[in-house]
């Protein structure tokens, strides 16, 4: 699982972006991830007339990670998030937390400043270990 096919991830994220339901912001987002069990899962943003209820692309990505049944508790290994032009988009703060839960500090993210680990994108993160250690 050492080599990540970033162009394939970007292209899957772009394809997912095409499925976005974003009639309110008109800001379509797509996300794709390589998982620890070798799948590529994707997500897009899904907005709602009750604006605050809308789902970010990363949220539907995490749902897809578990959506088809995941007895092996798969992890996110590498993630790409793109805007409507296919350019890298930084996950919002809530989504960084979501990704951290399922990818941990070593998960790789394609950012606007290159491929970086989650430990840099969400430094000193609060996570599952904090609940265990106190």
Which residues are identified as catalytic?
A: 58
Tokens at 16, concatenated: 């997912």
Residue 91 binding ligand THU, by CB under 6 A: yes
Among 5, 8, 18, 25, binds ligand THU (CB under 6 A): 25
CB of 83 to ligand THU, least distance (A): 9
DSSP, collapsed to helix, strand or coil, labels residue 123 as coil
CB of 110 to ligand THU, least distance (A): 13
| Nearer Cβ to ligand THU (27/126) | 27
Tokens at 39, concatenated: 């799948």
Please give the Cα distance from 43 to 16 (Å, whole number): 6
Stretch that binds ligand THU, among 6-14, 33-41, 89-97, 118-126 (CB under 6 A): 89-97
CB of 11 to ligand THU, least distance (A): 18
DSSP, collapsed to helix, strand or coil, labels residue 30 as strand
32 in Cβ contact with 12 (< 8 Å): yes
Phi-psi region of 114 (alpha: psi -120 to 50; beta: other; left: phi over 0): left
Interface with ligand THU by CB under 6 A: which residues?
22, 25, 27, 29, 45, 47, 54, 56-58, 91-92, 95
């Amino acid at each position: 699982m050492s080599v990540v096919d970033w162009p394939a991830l970007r292209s899957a994220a772009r394809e997912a972006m095409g499925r976005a339901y974003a009639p309110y912001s008109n800001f379509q987002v797509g996300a794709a991830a390589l998982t620890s069990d070798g799948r590529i899962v994707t997500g897009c943003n899904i907005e709602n007339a009750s604006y605050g209820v809308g789902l970010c692309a990363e949220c539907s990505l995490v749902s897809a990670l578990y959506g088809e049944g995941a007895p092996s508790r798969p992890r996110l290994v590498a993630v790409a998030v793109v805007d409507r032009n296919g350019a890298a988009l930084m996950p919002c703060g809530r989504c960084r937390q979501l990704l951290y839960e399922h990818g941990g500090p070593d998960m790789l993210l394609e950012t606007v400043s290159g491929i970086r680990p989650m430990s840099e994108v969400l430094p000193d993160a609060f996570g599952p270990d904090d609940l265990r250690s106190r």
